[in-house]
Amino acid sequence: MNENIRKFAIETDAWCDQNLISGDIAYNEKWEEKFAALIIEECAPLIKDAAHDANDIMRVIKEHFGINDENQ
């Protein structure tokens, strides 16, 4: 697993522990929302700095997270 993804999962767990009650029926949904938000926050500057070509943006994001077509 990419270290950024691992970091986001740990940060999401900590956020949920501080802001949600374990066992709350919305816990998993809120966890997923927070996790996705962290990924989006990480990607936004990459997109801003990349050329406006969609392929370039995809390449920059994949490289940042250590993902290549062989990993899929």
pTM for this one?
0.69
pLDDT, tens digit, 9 for 90 and up, residues 5-63: 999 999 999 999 899 887 888 888 999 999 999 998 888 887 776 667 778 888 888 88
Q: Which residues form the domain of 51?
A: 3-19+28-71
**Which distant-in-sequence residues (6+ apart) come within 8 Å of 39 by Cβ?**
5, 8
Predicted confidence (pLDDT) per residue in 38-52, tens digit? 998 888 887 776 667
Consecutive H or E run containing 29:
helix 27-49
pLDDT given at position 49 = 67
